[in-house]
Structure 1
């Protein structure tokens, strides 16, 4: 396999990984605070649908991104209210939310994106950064993204820095996720922080869905996320709730997706079904505890019943 082919596969893998990484970065912050957003799939799907609808309506992909983030954040408000304030079961909420999002976006595409309106949109196109994009192997991979892709990468870096374990916000989130009762005793607003973390995860999911629809696929189709939201949750687990591990997991999943298209084109006789299964097999292994060197936050999925704000 030539260097050019390998570069192409890695470049495609990174492109596939960007929406996954954005969603996983937001999800990791929510989980570190103790709230599992299994509904990340629905958040991404909602963001993708709203971004395409707004782009078709206004002709502006920028407004499409804004609409995608807002729509997913509204989804997040409902999720936060149920899981944080009403203390409902987070797994049940996630499954129900994903089913609701699938139904609403499928119905919405039939009604609002009929006659093929959502099948081919302009969206965002690749922008090569001079000089940097010419660097062998690394250049096309990192410096040939769309403007939205660059924004997504920048936001992932910003979240990693702002919510690291060396900052006040990061330490606050970890304290609440590990021992909410003790955090409450020290005066930390447990419910408020968890609520905001869920909204941040939802906004990240909306941005990820917008990136997928407007930069990668340039269209909307029923269930177009195809399990990416679940993979984002798994990437957090496989990465041990640490940003570097999450990046590795997302890139791996992205390359696995790229291989689904690259290997048959190269004439390599591997059953397509096995390639489609690969990310999900790794997901099962990750959830089983064989990948990832750190245990989950102690209060993950456990509603807080104290009197904190």
Structure 2
């Protein structure tokens, strides 16, 4: 039984890592007032670019750089549409995801049509001495790949650097709550929002690289499988706060891992039920049944000086 529990914890953390990265960026973007439904597309593009870069160069490190560049380029397009041109954020996000799915599917046929996608160079787990022997949590937390450890560091840095106790965090919150008043106070609204979307793209590209280069060492059509949308759900379930969002990601990761570990634990739960569980939690979070929750007042509202 202890072995099963360790596998459940390890699987949960492993599945939560890309979700943790993507939701950290999405949280920052939404606090600044920009809803990034295109996180799914950013992750998928990052995964494809990471796999292509690693395969072409023979280096997983080059693949990570390619994934970051792809995520940034994708985010720049999203920021141009939603921040500069003030297009509808929901429509542009869904459209961008459809574009990413089509482009990566076509690219996969062209570049990986001969099965090369199944032999992409990647990262292997690196155990931290002593700590990886701690029961249950040791293998889950301290037998990650280098990219996995980097993901933990990035998520923690974003949570601390943009907390509501720092000047950066207060500025982001002010812009997300009332961009007009923030502008009158001298805050660069468009620049902050543009930067928030770019940062979301960078961490989402890294999340895609984590999937392709650390988890499966391959690329396949629709590799992300909706994780980007689940990142948005995690932000809602975390009530737009950093540490609750991180906990929501871990919970969702364990819920997904439970699909595979349930039979060994003697639990007979349907896979569709476990798949919908994160979305049920998000509905409870926004309904107020598990505490008060309020999205940033300026979320999805474009900024126009003079309004």
Match of 2:177 in 1: 178
CA RMSD of aligned residues (A): 1.7
CA positional deviation for 1:278:
2.9
Gaps of 5+ in 1: none
Q: Does the CA contact (< 8 Å) of 2:239 and 2:245 recur in 1?
A: yes
The SS at the match of 2:262 is helix
The SS at the match of 2:9 is helix
Q: Does the CA contact (< 8 Å) of 2:239 and 2:286 recur in 1?
A: no
Q: Does the CA contact (< 8 Å) of 2:159 and 2:243 recur in 1?
A: no
1:257-276, aligned counterparts within 5 Å?
257-264=256-263, 268-276=267-275
1:164-213, CA deviations, whole angstroms, 9 ceiling, x for partnerless residues?
A: 11111111101101111111011111001100000001111101111111
- Is 1:278 the counterpart of 2:277? The answer is yes
Match of 1:149 in 2: 148
Alpha-carbon separation, structure 1, partners of 2:136 and 2:127: 14
Match of 2:243 in 1: 244
Q: Does the CA contact (< 8 Å) of 1:231 and 1:283 recur in 2?
A: no
Q: Does the CA contact (< 8 Å) of 1:238 and 1:291 recur in 2?
A: no
1:215-230, aligned counterparts within 5 Å?
215-230=214-229
CA positional deviation for 1:24:
0.3
Distance 1:287 1:123, change over 3 A: farther
CA positional deviation for 1:265:
5.3
Gaps of 5+ in 2: none
CA positional deviation for 1:286:
4.2
Bigger shift: 284-293 or 124-133? 284-293
Alpha-carbon separation, structure 1, partners of 2:23 and 2:295: 15
Bigger shift: 148-157 or 159-168? 159-168
CA positional deviation for 1:292:
5.9
How many pairs align? 307
Q: Does the CA contact (< 8 Å) of 1:257 and 1:279 recur in 2?
A: no
Q: Does the CA contact (< 8 Å) of 2:237 and 2:281 recur in 1?
A: no
1:160-199, aligned counterparts within 5 Å?
160-199=159-198
Alpha-carbon separation, structure 1, partners of 2:264 and 2:95: 38
- Is 1:25 the counterpart of 2:24? The answer is yes
Distance 1:298 1:89, change over 3 A: same
Q: Does the CA contact (< 8 Å) of 2:49 and 2:70 recur in 1?
A: yes
Alpha-carbon separation, structure 2, partners of 1:208 and 1:290: 31
The SS at the match of 1:118 is helix
1:107-162, CA deviations, whole angstroms, 9 ceiling, x for partnerless residues?
A: 00001111111123231111000011111222111111111000010111111111
1:18-68, CA deviations, whole angstroms, 9 ceiling, x for partnerless residues?
A: 100000001100100000001100000000010001111001111101100
Match of 2:158 in 1: 159
The SS at the match of 1:75 is helix
Match of 1:96 in 2: 95
Match of 1:7 in 2: 6
- Is 1:255 the counterpart of 2:280? The answer is no
CA positional deviation for 1:283:
4.1
Q: Does the CA contact (< 8 Å) of 1:17 and 1:254 recur in 2?
A: yes
